[in-house]
Amino acid sequence: MIKLIDINDITEYKPISLNLDVTKKLNFVIEEAQKYDVMPFLGDTLYILLEQDYSTGSPEFSNQIYSDLFNGCDYVEGNMTYRQGGVKAMIVYYAYARYVASSNVNHSAFGLVEKINDHSTGISKEALSKQVANALALAQAEQGKVERFLIFKSTTYPTWIYANKYISKSPSGIKINAIGGSRTKLASSYRCNGCGYYKCHCRYV
């Protein structure tokens, strides 16, 4: 699998003190973020097309649509202009979250061990969990922006696995399967809109 970002890309978003151990871990988590976070979202076909265009592009992508998807871009929807940060930002934050989650754990001949530094104080598990959750929240926020972009540009990216799902999905709202006076019964929940109860004994005409 081609790495679409490198360690320098992560340090542009998050300050990290690099050493040999950190570098090794970042290389692993970048690949994991691409394989297990980004590829399932884009779908194999679109991801492979993105990867192939990256490997043959100069300096990064030869096709503008893949550059926009990866690096982010501004686009106009209706009368509003939106900005999405691209797949690159997704990979960075997902990789960072994976790195933080494993930053205090190392593999050794005796199994997994927790690294203890005599010259610093490790943070608590609660604080570590918050750091991971924050990074994941940022990753998901970036993913949401890319998702909106892909939905709007579905004809440009027809291989996106979710495109047809979103386009063909019927509009959300109340579906009525029976009417009686001013009461309606919701097909999705089978709760009476008149009395509000799920197990309603109102008579429908």
The reply to whether 194 and 96 lie within a common domain is no
The reply to whether 178 and 116 lie within a common domain is no
**CB-CB contact of 33 with 98 (8 Å):** yes
State the burial class of residue 170 (Cβ atoms within 10 Å of its Cβ: 0-12, 13-18, 19+).
exposed
The reply to whether 104 and 46 lie within a common domain is yes
Report if residue 181 sits inside a domain: yes
Q: What is the pLDDT of residue 125?
A: 80
| Ordered alpha helix ranges (H), 33-71 | 39-42, 44-56, 64-71
The reply to whether 51 and 72 lie within a common domain is yes
The reply to whether 126 and 203 lie within a common domain is no
R_g of the chain computed on alpha carbons: 24
Residue that is written with structure tokens 């979103």 in the block: 166
Q: How many domains does the chain have?
A: 2
Predicted model pTM: 0.71
The more confident residue out of 160 and 203 is 160
The reply to whether 21 and 49 lie within a common domain is yes
The reply to whether 39 and 53 lie within a common domain is yes
DSSP 8-state class, residue 2: -
The three-class DSSP label of residue 83 is strand
Report if residue 1 sits inside a domain: no
pLDDT tens for each residue of 13-63: 888 877 767 788 888 999 999 999 999 999 999 999 999 999 877 678 999
The reply to whether 146 and 196 lie within a common domain is no
What ranges make up the beta strands (E) of the chain? 73-77, 80-84, 105-108, 111-114, 176-180, 183-186
The reply to whether 16 and 69 lie within a common domain is yes
Report if residue 97 sits inside a domain: yes
Establish how many alpha carbons lie within 13 A of residue 126's alpha carbon, considering only the half-sphere containing its beta carbon: 0
Question: Average pLDDT in the 85-104 region?
Answer: 91
Domain membership of residue 197 as a residue range: 172-205
The more confident residue out of 120 and 91 is 91
Q: What is the pLDDT of residue 165?
A: 61
Q: What is the pLDDT of residue 72?
A: 97
| pLDDT over 70 (residue 8) | yes
- Output the six-digit token pair for 44: 């194999």
**CB-CB contact of 14 with 96 (8 Å):** yes
> Smallest Cα–Cα separation from 37: which of 114, 96, 115, 84?
96
